[in-house]
Amino acid sequence: MDYLDRLESESIYAIREAYTKIDNIAVLWSMGKDSTALLYLIRKAFFGEVPFPVIHIDTGFKFKEIYEFREKMVKEWNLNLIVAENREAKVKGVSASGGKFQCCNSLKTEALKQLIKERGFKAIYLGIRRDEHGIRAKERVFSPRGEDFIWDYLNQPPELWQQHSESIAKNEHIRVHPLLGFSELDVWKYIKREHIPVVSLYFAKAGRRYRSIGCECCCSSFESKATSLNKIIKELNKTNTSERSGRAQDKEDSDNMQKLRSLGYM
């Protein structure tokens, strides 16, 4: 068993453990490489099926390539897609022009909160990784959220010997993070090995590509010659630039991510 096999095995264990022990579960899918790799792992865990809803938090500001990829993969993987949005915020015209923090909190965090309350989900799978951002390094694989959705990052349950705490109080839910042990490079190597489809924005076009994708208004491309998976992997082996350096919400305030995640952000 090589290290990718080990990471895959640990992820599938967490996926099955959550599904077995927690009722009314769903997975968040942003169409980014990590959440798509997570969907692939879920399909592998359940023999080609995703036996619960797939949620896309739609701000209305995503790249057209993301929407095209969503429609393509929903058909190919036979996904039960739920598109969630904060309609009230959209009617009010909330956008990044009024501040990245407010935009993310209103159009993403609040939209997710509304959906969880409406559907009564008790657990949500997310494709986050510890190496992606400092605040995410504090996470657990099974991470409880209180009745008000706040993440108490100073009081996380211990996870020794892969023993996860799945106890949930009334009106609480758990965020399940099967990819925490992966690095960015691991994800790309796994995508290459398993032939997992990804959005075309990750590959260089006219000398530029995106390393992290989300809302078009908040993502910046960078100079790159990486037009294939092999070239992306080679490029990452040499870079010292952080993965989210092109994400505006991370630049606006050094602790924006911690503030957002404490409020229930992904």
Alpha-carbon distances of 9 from 40, 42, 143, rounded to whole Å = 13, 11, 20
Question: Could you read off the pLDDT of 113-137 as tens digits, one per residue?
Answer: 899 999 999 999 999 998 886 666 6
d(CA 25, CA 73): 20
Q: Measured in whole angstroms, how far is the alpha carbon of residue 144 from the centre of its chain?
A: 17
Question: Could you read off the pLDDT of 170-181 as tens digits, one per residue?
Answer: 677 899 999 999
d(CA 165, CA 167): 6
Question: Could you read off the pLDDT of 179-198 as tens digits, one per residue?
Answer: 999 999 999 999 999 999 99
Q: Per-residue pLDDT for 249 more than 60?
A: no
Structure tokens at 140: 């657990």
Hey, what CATH topology would domain 3-183+252-262 get?
Rossmann fold (3.40.50)
